[in-house]
Amino acid sequence: MRTVIISIISLAIVLGACIRLAPAFEEEKKRSAFNKDTPQEAIVQQYFWNQLHQGHFDSLPRVLDRLHAAYRKDPNDFKLAAHLGFAYAWRFTEFRRQQEVRPSIMAYGDLALRYFDEAVALNPEDPRLLGFKSGFMLATGGIHNDDKRSTKGYFLGQKAIRMWPSFNLFSIGYVLSNLPADHERYQEALDLQWRNLEACLCREIDRSNPRLDDIDQIPERVAGDRLKGRACVNSWIAPHNVEGFLLNLGDMLVKDGSLEAAREVYESARRVEEFQSWPYRQKLESRLRQLEDNVELFRRMGNVQQKVDRQVFINTRFACMGCHQKSEDELAR
């Protein structure tokens, strides 16, 4: 009997060692050619961007099917993994667009994290992907009550900010904007947004009394900086990046109770060249009219079933489209 027990213990030790050591001898997954897409991959990725820019939320099942089909053929393509992450992120973030909101919608946050994690593993040099991964670690950590994941996500976000401040100051602060207004990290989230705006304006801002008359000068000021030139202006990927950013900052300031600063931030969006073609400009105009009434509304935690957009930006039905959707005129051009 003793011999049997010893044999079982020995076997358990050997198996445990194999579980720990065997993966170390396997090769790491390597990405496909960096800038070479197959014709199918190019078509699928173009389809994704077309649906995103048109705001076709209902087309997401087809988008995901096409992306998954391409990914099965080339699971080493970091761009396909990233686009799967973006598609699941869109479905998760704007879930209030659905006619019936089911609890299972939360699983899309886990799927977004799964594919951003894959994209980062295949292309660790891209700080944008690192920022999205950390953001979804923060978001899903809260859903699962997993403080360890949230903490890892927070510090990974700090690394992403150091790698590309003008991009990831917004990305991380945006996720944290969902915290209660009296949470200690909410003020940090606001600080990240202000720092992002200062980086793009290339000057300091008096946060208690901001003057943003020069908001339309951002493209000229960042023209010589490759990273700021990608993150701080309206682009093909995010045709209303600046307006969406300012709407979010204004909402966060309203939630904080800083109404005069919020008014200035909202009004500054009108000075952006593309403002008149922005599909969501009326959302901003209504916020200016409802400034004081929105304080308490924005401080309420986002109601899962609530489909009105008088909530802080991240809880609206246009939390992605506010930056990424094009107007009909822009699509026609």
pLDDT (tens digit per residue) in 114-126: 999 999 999 999 9
Q: Residue 11: is its pLDDT beyond 70? A: no
Nearest to 124 by CA among 159, 169, 176: 159
Nearest to 288 by CA among 318, 259, 256, 319: 259
The pLDDT, as a whole number, for residue 30 is: 75
**What backbone torsions phi and psi does residue 94 show, to the nearest 5 degrees?**
-105, 35
Segment holding 47, helix H or strand E: helix 39-54
240 is written with which tokens? Answer: 């209303």
What's the first-to-final CA gap in the chain, in angstroms? 82
The pLDDT, as a whole number, for residue 101 is: 83
202 is written with which tokens? Answer: 């290339």
Q: Residue 18: is its pLDDT beyond 60? A: no
Average pLDDT over residues 149-153: 97
Q: Residue 15: is its pLDDT beyond 60? A: no
Q: How far apart are CA 101 and CA 321, in angstroms?
A: 19
Contact 270, 250 (CB under 8 A): no
The pLDDT, as a whole number, for residue 36 is: 75
Q: Residue 237: is its pLDDT beyond 80? A: yes
274 is written with which tokens? Answer: 């593309």
Q: Domains in the chain and their CATH numbers?
A: 38-163 (1.25.40.10), 166-333 (no CATH)
Average pLDDT over residues 13-39: 63
Average pLDDT over residues 62-67: 98
> What pTM value is reported for the model?
0.90
Average pLDDT over residues 259-280: 98
pLDDT-derived band at 56 (thresholds 50, 70, 90) equals very high
**Percent residues over pLDDT 90 in the chain:** 80
The pLDDT, as a whole number, for residue 158 is: 98
Q: What is the mean pLDDT of the chain?
A: 91
Contact 138, 183 (CB under 8 A): no
pLDDT-derived band at 252 (thresholds 50, 70, 90) equals very high
Average pLDDT over residues 64-92: 97
The pLDDT, as a whole number, for residue 69 is: 97
Q: Residue 211: is its pLDDT beyond 90? A: yes
Average pLDDT over residues 222-249: 97
